[in-house]
Structure 1
């Protein structure tokens, strides 16, 4: 323990001393504070064992690159390679990556049953290729089959598949068609792959039973899934994976991403372990138990640290399997907290990954690459140092960190925004897009926009952007229910300042995301350069 603490303190001291680097530009780092987390009688090992190796998962959630479309449409190898290289460079060794998500793209259906394996081939090809790319870099992948979004009927395309998805959760014949036509044929191809650390069966499935979700999706009695449906389906899938592994004489581990460690995976402390061996066996027989637990932790249940893995040793929960924290925020400006101060002990976002190492967990998977790439990479970098892995300190790219603003892309590498070298009063968006369709999102700080009825800013981009068929864009907003709303299209001429404005019908309240989508037509060529932004205003 003393060696780990020393390593963490040293790594953080190096970062704190680098004042000229933007690694901590707008966030005052919280120095690592050693904390003797309370222990219990649990026998959770601080590692997984796969193919004879003991592995701590120092990992990042990819979650998705193109929501719900990463597999089955041809793999975006250039972006995947970039992500994998960044993770490996910073001492990470694994990713968690969603496969079906909401089921709008995969798996393929034939009426009310899963279509034959021949119709799933592209998805199988993409998953296997991703595993190959990971193995080339010494990384593991934990594919997540399904998410609670499978009943999110307000998401595009879900209404058309929600009935089938609900039947999958409740009907033995439909589940068996999934096992026969998707799961088993997939495992025939990837079982024993050196990069396949485990199959994660669900992402936060319990959400489908909760009032906020039912209200958000306006389900009104449609698709009344229950805990029993969810946990029975989990057990059946886990048993199917293990039976196939035995038949192939391969190791394939299973887990699931419950939304809460204590609420759904611990007996006591106010929770119930719905995924205990006893319960899994009761649903689906001796092959059903999970190999390890992979719950999520978000500090939004008013538990004041009493359910936190950052303040409790893994043994505290009295479990007999390894615990990998499958999700947790690492960006203090994200949707939920990532800095904590409970029990007279502060844990800053840069200390979260090391704290899981120190507290005896078998891994941590930071949330996530799409929106929080820099913070996620910084976290695993510190986690690697806590594990004794030699890596260079992570340095945030660009000149400065602009509080609350973000840049992302559906198809390219546009992800950095900085203060312009010409003047500190301008924001420079670093655009890097390949030939083809372009969707780049300049995301604004929703906390600063709360209550506004109008948002505007000035933008200027070069002729080369217009030559690449980037002709303008539109404001968009994801409301409190994550529903997409957008403004009218705005045409932007090159080399001229253009003020873009969105006058909303009512004051902005509780939005989850607000920004401007720049768009380029599919026939456009590649573009790399800067868009300049000035005079951002929120008016009430």
Structure 2
């Protein structure tokens, strides 16, 4: 927020006193910060559509662990070449490295190695013009198989302990990278639905998770220009048409005040969901059950497309675009499982870039 105030003051000075010295070229640099206007995204005042991907990890728990800058350098160059303008990356896969959490569930900070890795990572993202949806945690943090699962469950169930997470991880993260416009968003948790539904994740109540998300969202909005979302595993918990929107403005603001809200929604969609809620690609977000008062993207979907329906990713993505989804982030660009990889993602990305180039790189591809 501070940098926005400075930019506005500079613009006013230029209007009042004439053109500033632009010998450095800075005055000609387009503003790359993603903002929300109504139900769409904007960059430098122009419409933006996310021709996205998921690159969740190269090595599980990359940051603070076995981070390989060469992989990210080469892969982001590939994504940019194919017209992919954003990807979703897990900053912490299961909380076993990087973040310092004590046995009592209090979070005391982030290890230096994690910050060093992230500094490198965000510099690479900016270089290659790849916007990052940074997923700060996952249901995996709470799984029985995770050595620190009880610490994470304890933290989530306490307002006081959750605030240590916000104060010592979330806020330092967004403040550190707020000046890098390519951190466009934080995704507060990957598929929290499973923390509620699955015994192996503790089956914690939505009351605790919604309150936790409210605290996190308020912390982000009070300290940065970074957008906020939650990557729900299914529309079921993101819609008043079904089990109720557990991250609605009403719910979140009820816990943490006016700064507690999501800037956009990012439900996940896979073919197993069709029998319950229909085919998201072939419906508008509203018809699929999503609120229609802000942008909605598909935060995950299979890179292989809908195999039972005989639709490849290119067909699915174009259909989503035509139905008003503001972006598609297929899982994954680097083939971490059997849902597809670069071979499936790149033809779809190239097709969309050829179709709507000015919406994908509205400030110029470079």
Q: Is the strand fraction higher in 1 or 2?
A: 1
Tell me if 1:294 matches 2:266: yes
Tell me if 1:256 matches 2:235: no
Where does the alignment leave 5 or more consecutive residues of structure 1 unmatched? 1-42, 246-250, 333-337, 392-540
Hey, what's the Cα distance between the residues in 2 that align with 1:302 and 1:90? 29
Correspondent of 1:122 among 101, 109, 113: 113
Hey, what's the Cα distance between the residues in 1 that align with 2:90 and 2:346? 19
Hey, what's the Cα distance between the residues in 1 that align with 2:133 and 2:93? 14
Hey, what's the Cα distance between the residues in 2 that align with 1:57 and 1:381? 13
Correspondent of 2:302 among 329, 335, 342: 329
Deviation by residue 1:356-378 (Cα, 9 ceiling, x = unmatched): 22111111101013322211222
Matched ranges for 1:79-228 at <5 A: 79-114=71-106, 116-117=108-109, 119-154=110-145, 158=146, 160-210=147-197, 213-214=198-199, 217=200, 223-228=202-207
Matched ranges for 1:427-438 at <5 A: none
Matched ranges for 1:519-538 at <5 A: none
Hey, what's the Cα distance between the residues in 1 that align with 2:150 and 2:64? 21
Deviation by residue 1:399-420 (Cα, 9 ceiling, x = unmatched): xxxxxxxxxxxxxxxxxxxxxx
Structure 1 residue 161 displacement after superposition: 0.6
Hey, what's the Cα distance between the residues in 2 that align with 1:359 and 1:205? 26
Hey, what's the Cα distance between the residues in 1 that align with 2:72 and 2:297? 23
Hey, what's the Cα distance between the residues in 2 that align with 1:44 and 1:258? 21
Hey, what's the Cα distance between the residues in 2 that align with 1:374 and 1:50? 29
Hey, what's the Cα distance between the residues in 1 that align with 2:249 and 2:191? 19
Report the equivalent of 2:14: none
The count of corresponding residues between Structure 1 and Structure 2 is 317
Hey, what's the Cα distance between the residues in 2 that align with 1:271 and 1:195? 34
Correspondent of 1:373 among 335, 342, 354: 342
CA contact (8 A) 1:139 1:195 kept: yes
Hey, what's the Cα distance between the residues in 2 that align with 1:255 and 1:55? 17
Hey, what's the Cα distance between the residues in 2 that align with 1:238 and 1:282? 12
Hey, what's the Cα distance between the residues in 1 that align with 2:308 and 2:358? 26
- Flag the structure with more relative contact order, 1 or 2, with Cα contacts below 8 A and sequence separation at least 6: 2
Deviation by residue 1:265-289 (Cα, 9 ceiling, x = unmatched): 2222x34222211111112111011
SS state at 1:370 partner: coil
Hey, what's the Cα distance between the residues in 1 that align with 2:359 and 2:257? 44
Q: 1:189 to 1:351 in 2, by over 3 A?
A: same
Report the equivalent of 1:229: 208
Hey, what's the Cα distance between the residues in 1 that align with 2:215 and 2:55? 26
Deviation by residue 1:15-62 (Cα, 9 ceiling, x = unmatched): xxxxxxxxxxxxxxxxxxxxxxxxxxxx962x3235645321111100
Q: 1:225 to 1:328 in 2, by over 3 A?
A: same
Hey, what's the Cα distance between the residues in 1 that align with 2:248 and 2:105? 30
Q: 1:135 to 1:72 in 2, by over 3 A?
A: same
CA contact (8 A) 1:200 1:254 kept: yes
Report the equivalent of 2:355: 386
Matched ranges for 1:479-518 at <5 A: none
Structure 1 residue 104 displacement after superposition: 1.1
CA contact (8 A) 2:47 2:359 kept: no
> What is the TM-score of this pair, normalised by structure 1?
0.55
Q: 1:259 to 1:70 in 2, by over 3 A?
A: same
Hey, what's the Cα distance between the residues in 2 that align with 1:51 and 1:192? 15
Q: Is the helix fraction higher in 1 or 2?
A: 2
Structure 1 residue 321 displacement after superposition: 0.8
Matched ranges for 1:379-458 at <5 A: 379-388=348-357
> What is the TM-score of this pair, normalised by structure 2?
0.80
Over the aligned positions, Cα root-mean-square deviation in angstroms equals 2.4
